Structure 1
């Protein structure tokens, strides 16, 4: 699914102009991005949780050469689906 598909779904579901649907989708994505960028979690009821997780530096190995390297500390985005979403995907339900 692409952003254009989401805009199309919003357009069909609530009956606003496609340009307005695109603004709505962009606004929602921007709000989610801003909260995550600020280090906050985003919880969407019946869908799931987006979190930023800090990973500590660690030793790793280059699989090609076998050379040991330092993997730097970084932030990663994680998503944990809600139980409802997991069950619906598992059972193949659509609405």
Structure 2
């Protein structure tokens, strides 16, 4: 499902305009993004949680040339699926 498909589904389910649904989706995503940037955790009960993981820098190799390179420390978003969603997806699989 793409963002535009999510907006269409929300508009249809709630009987609102596409513009209102787009605003709701954009505000939701922006709020989640802001929380993650600030280092907060975002939890959606029954769905899962998002948090930021911090990775240390390390020395790696360029696989093409074998040259030693320095990989800088980084912060990346991480999603952990919730138990309920995991069970629903698993039970509905073919």
TM-score in terms of structure 1 length = 0.90
Q: CA RMSD in A?
A: 1.2
Deviations 1:20-43 (A, max 9, x none): 111111111111111011111100
1:14 counterpart residue number: 14
2:50 counterpart residue number: 50
TM-aligned CA deviation for residue 92 of structure 1: 2.2
The DSSP-based 3-state class of the residue aligned with 1:51 is strand
TM-aligned CA deviation for residue 46 of structure 1: 0.6
2:71 counterpart residue number: 71
1:84 counterpart residue number: 84
Paired with 1:8 and 1:92, the residues of 2 have a C-alpha distance of 24
TM-aligned CA deviation for residue 90 of structure 1: 1.8
Deviations 1:20-74 (A, max 9, x none): 1111111111111110111111001111111111111111111111122111101
TM-score in terms of structure 2 length = 0.91
Q: Which runs of 4+ in 1 moved over 6 A?
A: none
